Amino acid sequence: MINNPRARLCVPVCVRRAGELAPAVERAAQLSDVIELRLDCLADDAQLETAMRELRAHLLARPRPVILTLRPAGQGGFRDLDQPKRLLFWCNNFYKGNDLADFADIELEQAEGVEQVGKYIRGVEWERVICSHHDFVGVPDDLEAIYERMSRTPARILKIAVQADEITDCLPVINLLERARREGRDLIAVAMGEAGLLTRVLAHAFGSFLTYGSLDAASATAPGQVTAAQLRDLYRVHSITEQTMITGLVGSPVSHSVSPHIHNAAFAALGVDAVYIPFETRDARAFSRRMAHPRTREMSWNLRGFSVTAPHKGAIMGGLDFTEASAREIGAVNTVVCAGDELHGYNTDAAAALAPLRDLIDLAHARVAVIGAGGAARALLRSLRDANAGTTVFARDAERAREVAEKFDAEVRTLGGASFESFDAVVNATPLGTSGGRESETAATAEQLRGVRVAYDLVYNPSETRFLREARAAGCERVVGGLPMLVAQAAAQFELWTGVPAPLEVMRRAAEKKLAGE
C-alpha cells in the first residue's frame, strides 16, 4: 500500500484528574498523529485549572500536535460549563495568541459568539480553530445548512459528527466531505455509532482532515469510536487512499466478527491495497441499492465486494444481477462481487462446511445428522447430498425442516428428545452456543450424542462450545469446531475479490489470535 501523507489519526485523552494527563498523553503519543485533550472530562474546575497551569509551565509534554477541547454537555461533553464561562476560558487560554495548543475545538455557537465580540478579543488565530457541531440523535435534515452556517465563521477547520443508526446514514456525511473537497475546505466528518464505522476507517480516502480513535476500549469519547490501535494496525488507516480496494461484511450485528481480522491480515501479508470493514445494517437491500450497486450507488468509492452474514443471506439476492446456481438452490448468498456495473452473488459456505467432515470420515453413504434448517444447514445439506451422504434434518420448526429436507433429499425428524446414536456424524448448524447471550446453550446433550463418531459445530466463537464439550463427554471419537469452515469460506471469498490464492495459514492464525483475545 502507498502511505497517505494526509492521514491523521487523533487520539482523545479523557481523564478525571489532572495528574493522569501526562501518562495518558504519553500513551496516546505512541498511537497517534494528533492528541486531543478533552478538558471537559476533568472532574471539576480545580482539576481544569491544575491542567492549564501545567500546560502553561510546559510541565505537560506535547509530543504530538494538540487539540484543546472543552465540550459542553449538549454537544457530548462530560460535564457542563455555560457559554460565558467557556468564552472566558478560551479568552484566557487560547484567543490571546498563546501557544498552549496547536488547535482549539470550539462549538459552532461559541465560534459565532467569539466572532461577534471579536473587537474585544485580540489575537484570535482562526487558522487554529476547529468549529464543531455534534448531533447525538441522528442525521439532521438541515445538515447542509449547518455546514454552510459553519462555513461563514472564520474557522479554518470544520467538524461535523452525527449519529448513524443505519449504514445509509453515512451517505450525507460522505457527500458533505465531497462538497468540502470541491470547495477547498478542511472538514472532519464522522458518522457516530457502529453503523458509521466506515467513515472512521475511510476518513482520509473521503478527504476528512483527521479521524479519531480511542486510547483503549474503555476510553471512547463518542459512540462507535474504535481504538486507535485497531485503526492503525487492523484497518491500516495510514495506508488507505482513494485507490484502495474496499471490501466488508454486511450483517447485523457484525461488530464482533472475526472476519475483519482474517481478511485484513491476508491483504497485509500479500501486499494487496485493500481493506475489509464491518458494514452494520438492518436493511441489506437499501445498502445494496444506495451504496453498493455500481449503477445506483449514491457515493463514489472503490468497493470490490462484500461478505454477507445473518440475517441477510437470502434478502441480498433480490438486488443481484447474477447468482451462481448452487447459491440459488441453497437460497443464500454469502459473497457478493462488484463485476463491472453488476453485482454477482456466490455461496462459499457450502464447500467450506463440508471440508472438515471430508477429513474425518468417508462421506459416501455416511449417516449425517444436521441440526438446524437455516442458511448454514441448507449449504451443508447440498454439499452432503452431492457427496452421496445420507442426511437427516433435525429442527424445532418441523414445517421448515420438512421443506429443507425435501429440497435436499434428506429425511426429517423432530429435535426434541432425539437420539443420534445411529449416526456417524452430527453437525450443529444453529446459532446455539455462540458467544454472547446463547453461549450456555447447546443443540444436543451428551446423552443424545452417545455412540456418535464425529461431532461438528459450525459455531466458531467461542472455540470450545458447549456442544463440543457435550460431545467429548459422550465419548465421540472426533470433535471439530467452526474455525476451519470460517477460514475456508473466507479464503474462497478472498480469491473471488482479488483473483489470487488466499494465504490460508495467515488467515487461520489471525482468526485464532482474535478468538484467543490477543
> pLDDT digit string (tens) for 470-509?
999 999 999 999 999 999 999 999 999 999 999 999 999 9
Is residue 159 annotated as part of the catalytic site, yes or no?
no
**How much is the pLDDT for 60?**
80
Q: Which residue among 313, 407, 513, 514 is the active-site one?
A: 313
Distances (CA, A) of 325 to 330, 365, 423: 9, 25, 30
Q: And the C-alpha cell for 443?
A: 443443540
| Domain 350-481 in CATH 1.10.10.10 | no
**How much is the pLDDT for 117?**
56
pLDDT tens, 124-170?
788 999 999 999 999 999 999 999 999 999 999 999 999 999 999 99
Give the residue range(s) of CATH 3.40.50.720 domains in the chain. Answer: 350-481
Give, to the nearest 10 degrees, the angle between helix 483-498 and helix 349-358.
140
222 with 192: CB under 8 angstroms? yes
CATH fold, domain 249-347, is Rossmann fold (3.40.50)
Distances (CA, A) of 37 to 10, 60, 89, 427: 10, 11, 15, 52
**How much is the pLDDT for 509?**
97
DSSP string for 303-321? EEEEEE-TT-TTGGGGG-S
pLDDT tens, 220-253?
889 899 999 999 999 999 999 999 999 999 999 8
Q: What angle do CA 112, 118, 120 make, to 5 degrees?
A: 140
Mean pLDDT per 10-residue interval, the chain, length 518 residues:
64 95 94 95 93 84 91 82 80 76 91 66 79 96 96 95 97 97 96 96 96 93 93 96 97 90 98 97 96 97 96 94 96 96 96 92 94 92 95 90 93 90 95 89 96 96 94 96 96 98 97 90
**Burial letters 470-490, b for 16+ CB under 10 A, else e:** bbeebebebbbbbbbbbbbbb
Into which CATH architecture does domain 9-240 fall?
Alpha-Beta Barrel (3.20)
**How much is the pLDDT for 151?**
96
Give the residue range(s) of CATH 3.40.50.10860 domains in the chain. Answer: 249-347
Give the residue range(s) of CATH 3.20.20.70 domains in the chain. Answer: 9-240
DSSP string for 42-102? SSSHHHHHHHHHHHHTT-S--SS-EEEE---GGGT-SS---HHHHHHHHHHHTTTS--S-S
Distances (CA, A) of 373 to 47, 78, 170, 405, 467: 59, 48, 35, 8, 17
